Amino acid sequence: MTTSDIRQKYLEFFARHGHKIISSASLVPENDPTTLFTGSGMQPMVPYLLGEAHPDGTRIVDSQKCFRSQDIEEVGDNRHTTFFEMLGNWSLGDYFKKEQVSWMFEFLTKEIGLDPTRLYVTVFRGNDQIGRDEETVGYWKEAFGAVGIDAKDVDFSERDGMQSGRIFYYGEKKNWWSRSGVPSNMPLGEPGGPDTEMFWDLGSDRKLHESSVFASQPCHVNCDCGRFIEIGNNVFMQYRKTETGFELLPKQNVDFGGGLERMAAAVNDNPDMFTIDLFDGARKVVETISHQPYSSDLSNNPSTYSFRVILDHLRAATFLIADGVLPSNKDQGYYVRRLIRRAVRFGNKIGAKDAFCGLVASAYVETYKDAYPELVAKQDLIISELTKEEAKFKTSLEKGLREFEKLFAKSSAVSGVDAFNLYQSYGFPWELTEELAREKGQVVDRNVFQSEFKKHQDLSRAGSEQKFTGGLADHSTEVVRLHTATHMLHQALRTVLGTHVFQRGSNITAERLRFDFSHPDKMTLEQIQKVEEIVNTNIGRALPVHFEILDLDTAKSRGAIGVFDDKYAELGGKIKVYFIGDKATGEYESKEVCGGPHVENTRELQRFHIIKEEPVAAGIRRIKAVVGVPTPSS
C-alpha cells in the first residue's frame, strides 16, 4: 500500500461518514501574525473549533501540509521531519468520543490493515479539577474487545512499565490539549480538553537505544526508546476554563491529527520513515550523486544522517517555495535559505560534487504531482530558486569550511567573534558554525556573536541615519497620491506575477515611489507593461477609496493583505484596512492593512508610470514609479 493509497483511503473513509473533503491550506498562514508557518493540521481550523461556523458544515476531513521550523535540528533520526502531512478530521459540535474512537480503530485495522495486537493507546489521567477520561477508555475497550483483545487499562507505566496493558493513563503534559498548554496555564475562557493518542509497536527487538539511558528504564509507549511510534492523536475539546474551574462547552468538538508518513511507516513495518515510497525517487537521486546506497543503520553508517537531512530539507524547501516563500534573510525566507544551505552542506559531506538540489526537487514534484498539482505549476520557480541558492552558497561554503578548519586548528576552538567573521565574510549562518563546532565537541559563545552582530548593525545604522530610509516623507498631496499608487501597484504585481509577491519595503517622496517586493526574477517588459495597464485602468475607473476599522479575524476573512502588527493597531487593538473599489457592491481592486493617508478616489492619480525595475537582494526586486503626468518620460 503506497502512502498515496493511505491518504486517499483516509479521505474516502471519512467522506463515507458524512465528512466534506477540503484542500490543504498554504504552509504560510494567511494574514496570521502569530506564527510564520502552518505547523499542524488544526491550525487553519482554530476559528471553527472556537465556534465560528465552517462553510462546509460540521464534519470536515483533509490532509494538511505542515512545516515545523523548530524541528530542523531534530532531523537525522528515523522519524523526525520538518515537513509532513497531517491527516485530520473534525467534528464541529457534531459527533464525539464514541464515534471517533470507533472510526479510528476501524480505519487503522480494516482500511489500512494494521494488526490490532500491535496498537496501543493513551488517555488523560485527570487532575485535581478534571477526572480521568474513563469514558474514552470504555470506548477503546469496546473496539479492542470486538476483535477479541482484552484491553487492560493501567496507570503509571512511566514508573512501572507496560504491566501487560493496552490502554495507558498519562498526565496533562501528555494527554491534554489547549492552545496555551496544560490546564494551569490556560487563561479564563480558553477551551481545551483531554486527548487520546494511538501508538504502533515496532517490536521490542526494534529498540534503537539498547545501550543508552533507556536500557535501564521501564519501557512504555511514551518513553522515546524507539520501540513505539505515535501515529495519531484524537483531541476532545470539551471544557472551558472559568473562575471556579472548568465547565463543559455547549458544543463539544473532535480534532484528530495523524502523521501520514508515520502511518505509512507502520504499514511498511519499518521504523525508518525515509524508506517509505514518498522518498523513493529523491533517495535514488541522492544515492546517485553520492555514489553510495542509503542505509537505515545510523550507528554504523555516518552518511545516513546526511541522507536524511538532504531528503527532508529539500522536500520542505520544495513545498515552501511552491507556496511563495523564497530564500532570503528574513522571516519565512530565512528558513528556506537555511534548509537549502544545510542540504548543500551535508551533500558536500557525502561527496556530491555537482549541483543536486534541483534534481531532488524534481523527483519530489514527480512523486507529489497528483496530490499537489501546484508543484507542477511552480516547478520552474522551484528549480530556479534552489539552483541559484545552491550555487551562491556552494562557493562560500567551500571557502568558509576551509577558514573554519584553519581557525579550529589554530586554537582548537571557534570564538563568538570568529563565528561573526564567518557570517560576515562567507555568509555562514550562526547555526552552521554552531553545528560544526558541536561536531568537534566545542561550544561557541552565542552572546559574543550577538554582541558583534549588534555592533555591526549599529555601525550600519549610523552610516545611513542621515538618509530617508522608508515610509512616507510627509503627508503632502503628492506623497499621498503615490502612497495610494503603491497599494494599486502591489495588487497589480500579485495579479501579473503571482501571489508569492508581498511588500518588502517602501519609500515615498513627493517625486516618486519606491516599492520593494518578493520575486525571484527580473520582470520582462511585457510584465511591466501589464502592471502599468492594470493600475492605469483602475485609475481610469475612478474607484473610491475608503478605510474601515476591523478586528483581526474580520480583516483576514475579508481577504486583506499586509502586516498585521501593532504598527497599525488602534481602537483597542483593531486595525485599519484601506479598500479601493465599489463599497456598494463589495468589489474591490485592493484590500490592504495600512495606517494611511490615501486619496479619496483613484482619478486623483491621473496616470501611473514605472520608470525603473531593478534587483535589491536575492529574491527581492524594486520598482520606482511616478504618477500625475499623462505621458511621463523616464
Q: Which residue has the higher pLDDT, 278 or 44?
A: 278
Per-residue pLDDT at 194 exceeds 90:
yes
* More confident of the two residues 2 and 595: 2
Scored b (16 or more CB within 10 A) or e, 413-451 reads ebbbebbbbbbeebbbbbebbbebbeeeeeebeeeebee
Stretch 362-382: mean pLDDT, rounded?
96
Mean pLDDT for 89-111 is 97
What is the pLDDT confidence band of residue 631, given thresholds at 50, 70 and 90?
very low
What average pLDDT does range 563-589 have in this prediction? 70
Contact 560, 592 (CB under 8 A): yes
pLDDT score for 382: 96
Q: Is 459's pLDDT higher than 80?
A: no
Task: Please report which confidence band the pLDDT of residue 215 belongs to, taking 50, 70 and 90 as the band edges.
Answer: low
Give me the pLDDT at residue 571, please: 42
So what's the pLDDT on residue 399? 83
One DSSP character per residue, 298-341 reads TTT-THHHHHHHHHHHHHHHHHHHHTT----SSHHHHHHHHHHH
Output the nine-digit C-alpha cell for 612: 525603473
pLDDT value at residue 499: 85
Angle between helices 331-349 and 430-439 (to 10 degrees): 30
Name 352's Cβ contacts closer than 8 Å, sequence gap at least 6: 286, 289, 290
Identify the band that residue 462 occupies on the pLDDT scale cut at 50, 70 and 90: low
Grid coordinates given for 158 = 512511566
565 — pLDDT class (breaks 50, 70, 90): very low
Task: Say if residue 573's pLDDT is above 70.
Answer: no
Sheet holding 503-508, edge to edge: 471-472, 503-508, 513-518, 620-627, 608-617
- 461 pLDDT higher than 60: no
* Average pLDDT over every residue of 477-494: 93
Asked which of 108-112, 214-218, 511-515 is least confident by mean pLDDT, the reply is: 214-218
State the average pLDDT over residues 556-560: 84
Q: What architecture is the 471-627 domain classified under in CATH?
A: 2-Layer Sandwich (3.30)
DSSP 355: -
What's the chain's average pLDDT?
A: 88
Domain segments of the chain as ranges:
3-268, 276-411, 471-627
Residue 477 — very low, low, confident or very high, per pLDDT cuts 50/70/90? Answer: confident
Q: What is the pLDDT of residues 23-71, one digit of tens each?
A: 999 999 875 666 889 988 888 888 888 778 899 999 999 999 999 998 8
Torsion of CA 40, 42, 46, 49, to 10 degrees: -160
Given this model, what pLDDT does residue 31 score? 56
Q: Which CATH class is domain 3-268?
A: alpha beta
* Residue reference for cell 493583505: 561
Q: What pLDDT digit, counting tens, does each position of 136-187 carry?
A: 999 999 999 999 999 999 999 999 999 999 999 999 999 999 877 899 888 8
pLDDT higher than threshold 90 for residue 87 = yes
Give the separation between CA 310 and CA 302, rounded to whole angstroms: 14
- pLDDT confidence band for 451 (50 / 70 / 90): confident
Percent of the chain topping pLDDT 90:
57
- Using one digit for the tens of pLDDT, what is the confidence trace for 324-356? 999 987 788 989 999 999 999 999 899 998 999
Q: How far apart are CA 453 and CA 342, in angstroms?
A: 22
Tens of pLDDT along 501-556? 888 888 888 889 999 998 988 999 999 999 999 999 999 999 999 988 887 778 87
Strand partners, 423: none
Residue 33: its pLDDT value, please? Answer: 62
pLDDT grade, residue 81 (50/70/90)? very high
pLDDT classification of 458: cutoffs 50, 70, 90: low
CA atoms within 13 A on the CB side of 5: 10
